[in-house]
Structure 1
């Protein structure tokens, strides 16, 4: 496995001269396959060589061209930038620069190109959360038509779209594919399996709370477990029962737009997203036109369930997380559970798995197995069967219409290469962000599964389809997403109450949608806001927004982890 984790520095130095490819033929491909792929592929060696030969031949018209691609800084994308991009350049003769920046900066650059029409980057690797934006504005090349038209000559015959597990999330209501998944991860529940199964700890918990310590099914149990562990001394250290982050930073927005409100129970029933009210609290009509975000227009962004979700976030952050967590952002908070003093985390991205399995970490056993496990996140008091259960991030290659055709063609070759069957197993071993069924089912992951804390079992289970990305209701992701972190930041800092923050957020979302409606830039599928009316009217209607519960604590429920694994594997 260590061979897979090497950087490509030596290969890049051997195959490039002064930043330009030294040659573009099978010699470079053989060197790459020998060093980085081997038998870690869904293809045989003969099939690998045939696929990379296709890339070499298809790239011939673009040799010498310099192509610029951008993605967020994620473990998987680091491997693409440091290993796959130099190899692609050496094999094809295309000078490929893969730039890594923060996710917020990626969205900002994409928004700039959408607004100005200037070609900032030739390809963006950004979340399929923008599907509502791409479909409405029609400034993104839909790949269905692209592969049948200008992209036909550069579309890999072995691409095999049916093998991708996240295709539906990058597909618009028109049935067109707008983005190609290249990495994918879910938000799940993370916990210390060893502590949860310690007889003394289990007995102490049951004596104090009257039920068995296990994976929390609901927020009531999560809160009890957080309170139980916080301040407890285990293995000579003070333990915390919860981990999160609270810095007023763009990454704070993802913490909530990534289905937190629906996990609390604020949205309507329906998959992949609530219908007609989604996990952002945005209501649409039968034509997918957004009609409101505030309760006065039938939305749920400031509904009792949404406010409850923010109140719980703030309460847990202040009372059960390490004191430094309130000043951290997403990237800073991610590695903290691996330090060994956190008992559980309700909102944990599987993208961190790759950084949680190093042999020398305090959360790993001597035999290379983890002391932790992952499981479905618990749901809030307003949640009902049939609601969305969690979020899945589908980082996808995106080609904008403003990119010249030849540059888009060359970039499309790179998109297919980094998600190809030749490389995907090896890439997934490094980043652990699966996009292909053939990769998930590869024998090497059967062998490695015991060391990954439930990740392989989750992705081999049909239940993975219940975790979905942001859907069609969001008409302009870049403009609306930036409103979340600013308003949630006010709640996190105490500058506003949760109700005040969510009132401000829904007002601002509707102001953006009103401008889009007046401008008419999204055509027949753009916003068409409802007239405001008394909130009581909407609270009396079926579905979201849901009226306030008398008891938001509810009865705590837990389940044995081994029972969850049995359900996943059977």
Structure 2
């Protein structure tokens, strides 16, 4: 076994002997496929860069299977996956795509499930130490009946991010208390977030000669604008119902599902996509842009992500934790001389429609997906590669590279305890129950590849003023209903195909318990907690 592989894959939760045995299993099981070249594709984040540039070579040196691990944009991964489904051509042998597609996958009939791969040839090609119970995101990749459709490869969450050094500044604390009547701290609700945004943008305005802002976001007309809202913005506002991993019967997309059948997204069909709670969510999204830099309206997802490192932003209501590495580099304005972040992450504040028992935010679970139209030898070779990338020999080192953990054993290791002070609360988040309350898009969405694109088309018209939030969401909900009705006709062989509810007066549904919820005109007072108390909420 090449010595460099063992050296590269340190640290590991396995002992030296255990790691040697696990890697030897890959070497022996891959013998029938030595010399084969397989192709896989994933989105371009640090974790997958490491896989593509380092781990694919390690796998080849270990097994003789050559892997072309392509990196591209998230939207392009979905397009390639859809193209293979439609054409039947074996474009790639496996995909790492978000578990957000699980509702599409289990209804498509095109996926070789993980459950099938685990038992192929009596489990001959299933890693004995795979330990599915150790995966923290496996519940996100199951269909409503418990069948596993995808295997998590990396996970990251949308968390509240803030400059803890500014929030702990005695002068700022006193000034905020005098102006707003409560303590400057981690906001628990949207009113507190708004007050803090106004405070830093308007009242403080400048720190050490630098213009600062109390909010950061992005709103360019771009597919990433859709992710900004579909990635559980509505759930934080309180649009859906209680229930995990997604609200039942109404989820965070505002889609009502009855007995696994989507029945509508508009309030007139029992959904909540154009409900008062959803309108409130979009109103706040647009209103808060005034507390962000002027450039925010023209920035995309990736462009906006660079702003926090400049030291000009006080807080962001949710920020993708996959970017932890970008904000822990030495010599940044947001990192001190000892390498300790001047920022922390905490639970995102929730809107006035949110209720206990609802999901609290979004978690991305990039997961391995295998298509039935892949030749079996290539599929099994790709299955071995997938298991290598998530094995205990690899996973802890990969977590330290990309900060996208997938295994509880890694999170609970002494290595992560020592690393914790340098990650601004990320380890505390993933060691808590919060990792189950921040969830991806669920199985209610029957056609994610097509329906995901609706978000940015309608949200962009709200941002540019073409529509009011209510007008935009009415049009959006009607478009989703039309698509669900079309799927009802074309997915006749699916046991969970849409079955549209008849249209009723909105007042009928708004008077029923749960979501869609009637207009809430209550005036909410801002509420904050000290960081030490705020993170206890996760437990």
Question: TM-score normalised to the size of structure 2?
Answer: 0.98
For residues 533 and 47 of structure 1, what CA distance do their matches in structure 2 show? 62
Work out whether residues 151 and 367 of structure 2, in 8 Å CA contact, stay in contact via their aligned partners in 1: yes
SS of 2:344's partner is: strand
Q: Partner residue of 1:163?
A: 134
CA contact (8 A) 1:63 1:94 kept: yes
**Out of 199, 209, 232, which is 1:228 matched to?**
199
Paired with 2:375 and 2:122, the residues of 1 have a C-alpha distance of 12
Deviation at 1:92, TM superposition (A): 1.2
Q: Is the CA contact (8 Å cut-off) linking 2:388 and 2:394 kept in structure 1?
A: yes
269, 284, 296: which one aligns with 1:325: 296
For residues 217 and 100 of structure 2, the distance between their equivalents in structure 1, rounded to whole angstroms, comes to 22
Post-superposition shift, 1:153?
2.2
User: Structure 2 CA distance, aligned partners of 1:265 and 1:522?
Assistant: 34
State the partner residue of 1:18: none
Write the deviation string for residues 280-309 of structure 1: whole angstroms up to 9, x where unpaired.
000011x21000011111110011110111
Distance 1:520 1:357 in 2: 47
Partners in 2 of 1:59 and 1:247 — Cα distance? 46
- The match for 1:312 is 284
Q: Report deviation, 1:196.
A: 0.3
d(CA) in 2 for partners of 1:62, 1:363: 48
Q: What does residue 231 of structure 2 align with? A: 258
The yes-or-no answer on 1:173 pairing with 2:162 is no
Residue of structure 1 equivalent to 2:443: 472
Q: Distance in 1 between matches of 2:430 and 2:215?
A: 25
Asked if the contact 2:154/2:366 (under 8 Å) is kept, the reply is yes
Secondary structure of 2:277's match? Answer: helix
The secondary structure found in structure 1 opposite 2:394 is helix
Q: Residue 508 in 1 paired to residue 501 in 2?
A: no
Which residue in 2 is equivalent to 1:526? Answer: 497
Alignment-derived partner of residue 450 in structure 1: 421
Q: How does 1:136-151 map to 2 (within 5 A)?
A: 136-150=107-121
Give the Å deviation of 1:146.
2.1
| 1:296-335 per-position Cα deviation (integer Å, ceiling 9, x unaligned) | 1111001111011111101111x11111111111111112
Match of 1:205 in 2: 176
Change (3 A) 1:117 1:150: farther
4+ aligned runs moved over 4 Å, structure 1:
none
For the aligned residues, what is the CA RMSD?
1.3
Looking at structure 2, the residues matched to 265 and 538 of structure 1 have their Cα atoms a distance apart, in angstroms, of: 16
Is 1:421 the counterpart of 2:396 in the alignment? no
Q: Counterparts of 1:190 and 1:225 in 2: how far apart (Å)?
A: 13
Are the counterparts in 2 of residues 514 and 529 from structure 1 also a CA contact under 8 Å?
yes
Is contact 2:347-2:535 (8 Å) kept?
A: no
**C-alpha contact (below 8 Å) 2:60/2:66 kept by paired residues:** yes
Measured after TM superposition, the shift of residue 464 of structure 1 is 2.0
Matched, 1:400 2:400: no
Alpha carbons of structure 1 residues 46 and 341: separation in structure 2 relative to 1, 3 Å: same
Displacement, 1:522?
5.0
Q: By how many angstroms is 1:151 displaced?
A: 7.9
Q: Does 2:257 align with 1:284?
A: yes
Alignment partner, residue 557 of structure 1: 527
List per-residue Cα deviations over 1:213-264 (Å, max 9, x = no partner). Answer: 0000000000000000004111220100000110111111111111111110
Counterpart mapping for 1:536-551 below 5 A? 536-551=507-522
CA distance in 2, matches of 1:506, 1:151: 46
Q: Which runs of 5+ in 2 are unaligned?
A: none
1:521 is displaced (CA, Å) by: 4.6
Per the alignment, in what secondary structure is the counterpart of residue 359 of structure 1?
A: coil
Structure 1 stretch displaced more, 331-340 or 369-378? 331-340
- State yes or no: 1:299 paired with 2:277: no
| Cα distance in 2, alignment partners of residues 296 and 446 from structure 1 | 50
Is contact 1:137–1:521 with CA below 8 Å preserved after alignment? no
Question: Partners in 2 of 1:49 and 1:521 — Cα distance?
Answer: 50
* Correspondence 1:321-470 to 2 at 5 A: 321-470=292-441
Aligned residues of 1:335 and 1:352 also touching (Cα < 8 A)? no
Deviation readout 1:364-407 (Å, 9 max, x if unpaired): 01111110000000001111112211111111000011111111
- Matching of residues 64-213 of structure 1 within 5 Å: 64-150=35-121, 152-213=123-184
Aligned partners of 1:68, 1:37: CA distance in 2, in Å?
Answer: 23
Taking a change above 3 Å as real, the CA distance of residues 477 and 151 of structure 1, as seen in their structure-2 partners, is farther
SS of equivalent residue, structure 1 residue 347: strand
State the Cα deviation string for residues 404-458 of structure 1 (Å, max 9, x = none). Answer: 1111101101111111100111110010010001110111111111111111111
Do 1:233 and 1:239's aligned partners in 2 also have CA atoms closer than 8 Å? yes
Indicate the residue corresponding to 2:246 in structure 1.
273
Contact kept, 8 Å, 2:239 with 2:353, in 1: the verdict is: yes
How does the TM-score come out when normalised to structure 1?
A: 0.92
